[in-house]
Structure 1
């Protein structure tokens, strides 16, 4: 009724067989995700620093850069200067974006049990929430 399979499967699941492509562990995948979220948060933090310089944002950017470098095996994250050629973003919108990115980083850091990154992400969420509260309360 059915024709027998004549070729070897391309989806090898047998232990001990070598494959042509690299496999990453769950921890490696989580490291990559966490580094990506923290690098995106660093980029938004750098934009905020350009619009509203503060010692808090400077310290946060340094800590974020350290965590990204740690997760990437010592490679420093790319940092671009904010150019004045594009439309200036809204500061509250940047704080909301940073809050969202910090939340994503917190979820991944918690799932990989990375206490340092989780604490940093939670602190950044609190800081961006605090930065938004006076504006949002005043506009109501």
Structure 2
């Protein structure tokens, strides 16, 4: 039927066996993932701020930077110079997608502050994509 294994496994699966590489916990992995999504959202927010400056985007950028700093052990996020050109609608779609990804990770790690911030950003970008609402004149 099956031939017995004759060589030692290349994978260390025995409990208590020393390994050659460091392992991270699930929480550490989720922190890294969430910080990455928030940093990407911050970069898109900075691009939007360059195209359409607003106090709301300035506040959002500072809040995102604070969350990234918290998740990275008080290390400030690297911020590139924003792109001077681009399509604001495409940037809002990208930001909405990134906020959604961050929301999923924040929810899985039970990070209420990050979940609230990303949900707010999703709402803001969805509203920006919807555009201004016209008032109906029908009675």
Would you call these one fold, judging by a TM-score over 0.5? yes
Post-superposition Cα deviations, 1:57-104, rounded to whole Å, max 9, x if no partner, equal 0010000001011111111110011244xxx21001000100000000
The alignment status of 1:111 with 2:108, answered yes or no, reads: yes
Cα drift, residue 6 of structure 1: 3.6
TM-score scaled by structure 2? 0.89
Unmatched tracts of structure 1, length 5 or more: none
Unmatched tracts of structure 2, length 5 or more: 135-139
Asked if the contact 2:51/2:88 (under 8 Å) is kept, the reply is yes
TM-score scaled by structure 1? 0.89
Question: Helix, strand or coil for the counterpart of 1:36?
Answer: helix
1:132 maps to which of 120, 129, 132:
129
Aligned residues: CA RMSD: 1.6
Segments of 4+ in structure 1 off by > 6 A?
A: none
Cα drift, residue 5 of structure 1: 3.4
Aligned ranges 1:1-140 → 2 under 5 Å:
4-84=4-84, 88-134=85-131
Q: Matches of 1:36 and 1:110 in 2, distance apart?
A: 15
Cα drift, residue 8 of structure 1: 1.9
Q: Structure 1 residues 3 and 94 mapped into 2: Cα distance closer, same or farther (>3 Å)? A: same
